[in-house]
Amino acid sequence: MKIINKLKKIWMHIIIASFVIFIGISALTGYEKGIQTSTAFTDVVIDMLTILPCAFILIALFETWVSREMVIDHLGDGAGFKSYIWAILLGGMSVGGIYVAFPLVYSLFRKGASLKIIFCIIGFAGACRIPMTIFEISCLGWKFTCIRLTSAILMLLIAGTAMGAILEKRNYQITEN
């Protein structure tokens, strides 16, 4: 295992170094695609740096204020249908999308949320966010948005429930590194 971890680190360093070299050469030679890549990368990093600190503060407050029992009651294995409603709400109201969803669901998982619900929240955070839906309505109309949202919610519920059930059957646990 140690050899595999070292190889992963080496590959990660090679990938990062290759990216930096590509961006540097692109800037020196005026290669447009490389410059566009650098600009897009910078925009994503800036977005993450503006969203993540606030998200981490909110998640820390969540860790402190919300009890394990409350999470188990609302998002645990025995919570039933209401846990899926909570998953839709948590994923849909996620401001940072996936950036915020992963730290949030990690915290929920540690407090006893079901894996089925965890997968559903991640899916909803990626596909059913409220700001994205409002933009979609303004560009594509109500009918399209309703069809897309309904089909996305149904598919994400099925996929999240199936993935969670498979992993729970295998006694999956998140390990600390």
pLDDT tens digits, the chain, 177 residues: what are they?
688 888 889 999 999 999 999 999 999 999 999 999 999 999 989 988 888 888 889 889 988 999 999 999 999 888 889 999 999 999 988 877 787 888 889 999 989 999 999 999 999 999 988 888 899 999 999 999 999 999 999 999 999 999 999 998 998 877 765
pLDDT given at position 177: 58
pLDDT value of position 132: 86
- Alpha-carbon distance of 14 to 21, in angstroms, equals 10
pTM to 2 decimals? Answer: 0.76
10 Å Cβ neighbour count for 72? 16
Residue 35 · residue 26 · CB < 8 Å: yes
Position 143, amino acid = K
Q: Roughly how many angstroms between the first and final C-alpha of the chain, as a whole number?
A: 13
How far apart are the C-alpha atoms of 129 and 72, rounded to whole Å?
A: 24
